Amino acid sequence: MKYLKNIFGILIVSLLIFSCKTKEIIIEAQEVDDIVTYLASDELEGRDTGSEGIEKAAVYIESYFENLGVEPYFDTYRDSFNVKDKKAFNVIGYLEGTDPKLKDEFVIIGAHYDHIGFAQEENGDKIANGANDNAAGVGTVMTMAKYFAKTKSNKRSILFTLFSAEEKGLVGSKYLAKTLKAKNIDLYVMLNFEMVGVPLVDKDYTAYVTGFDKTNLAEKMNEYAGKKIAGFFSKAEEFRLFMRSDNYPFFKEFNVPSQTFCTFDFSNFEHYHKVGDEADIMDFNHMANFVNTFIPAVKKAVNAETKEIKMNPSK
């Protein structure tokens, strides 16, 4: 009996180890809350390009990457450039792919981490905190980086790119897209996240995707997720949002699917580029749910055997 007990013991211990190893990483609302609340705090003064506040944001993102074992893609995490007389830098993390062949192909997961600094004063507040725009997108990218760093489940290589100077005219993403084009990397898709801190209302999808009909991205993401996570939003076409965020320079340089996912529909959030864009009005349960919903689909995209996300012909 004693022998049998030992066998049982060993069996239970190995089951535990096995289940720990295969345990999925779930992103908690508190984690996104912590990230967005810090990035959108008054201390960071609206993360204007070249400011002390954005420097703090960069240090925060770099240490998050470092703690996870997400590596710098360049010599450091910083991809530096100038905007007029101001020094600016994208923050770039890298996870090499696990597949000997597919690792030569790249997926970029990005969001801009800069904001506009100060804005029209309201009730003594001048700081445009940029919680929804775009600490929320940054939190999404950072927690996705955490997922892939912990699970080591990416066959393709991933660049986690936090752009600066988006608000100055997509300067950071243009700079990086040109640099990567000059290096001739094999870019598969670029997935960008903008203003995802508040859920859509009365829509049958989780986020809309800009440049909807240019590619089959929405169709594939919905297939991967097993539900409708990406949809068509007519105002995104009307306001040409496809060309107005950091996805666009990658589309231009590489002519591969490069699109933005967004949950801001012009009616569900009234503080766009205003001082009221604060962390305490973000919906962190929605955000955690958003990230946990997108991760399995992003993972399938990153690991698909062939490049099945494609440009639509004639678009």
Token pair 């698909």: residue? 304
Query: Under the criterion CB under 5 A, does residue 164 sit at the interface with Zn ion?
Result: no
Residue 195 beta carbon to Zn ion: minimum distance, rounded to whole angstroms:
6
Q: Which stretch binds Zn ion (CB under 5 A): 86-94, 101-109, 127-135, 139-147?
A: 127-135
Longest dimension (CA), the chain: 79
Give the total of residues touching Zn ion (CB under 5 A).
Answer: 3
Of 292, 229, 286, nearest in space to 26 by CA: 292
Residue closer to Zn ion, measured from CB, 97 or 172: 172
**Amino acid identity for residue 100 in this structure:** P
154 binds Zn ion (CB under 5 A): no
User: If we measure between CA atoms, which residue out of 250, 298, 33 comes closest to residue 144?
Assistant: 298
Q: Kindly state whether residue 48 participates in binding Zn ion, applying the rule CB under 5 A.
A: no
In terms of phi and psi (left: phi > 0; alpha: psi -120 to 50; beta: otherwise), the region of 130 is left
Q: Any contact of residue 247 with Zn ion (CB under 5 A)?
A: no
Backbone angles phi, psi at 23, to 5 degrees: -60, 130
Stretch that binds Zn ion, among 70-78, 128-136, 205-213, 229-237 (CB under 5 A): 128-136
As a whole number of angstroms, the distance between CA 95 and CA 98 comes to 9
- The binder of Zn ion chosen from 133, 246, 265, 278 (CB under 5 A): 133
Distance CA 131, CA 210 (A): 21
By C-beta, is 70 or 262 nearer to Zn ion? Answer: 262
Tell me whether residue 68 or residue 282 sits nearer to Zn ion (CB atom).
282
Nearer to Zn ion, 31 or 133 (CB): 133
Beta strands (DSSP E) in the chain are 71-72, 78-83, 86-95, 105-112, 118-122, 125-127, 157-163, 186-194, 207-209, 230-231, 258-262
Task: State yes or no: residue 134 binds Zn ion (CB under 5 A).
Answer: yes
What part of residues 250-279 is at the interface with Zn ion (CB under 5 A)?
none
Q: Is residue 40 within a helix (H) or strand (E), and if so which, with residue range? A: none
CB nearer to Zn ion: pick between 148 and 269: 269
| Nearest approach, Cβ of residue 112 and Zn ion (Å) | 6
**CB nearer to Zn ion: pick between 105 and 114:** 114
Contact footprint for Zn ion (CB under 5 A): 133-134, 194
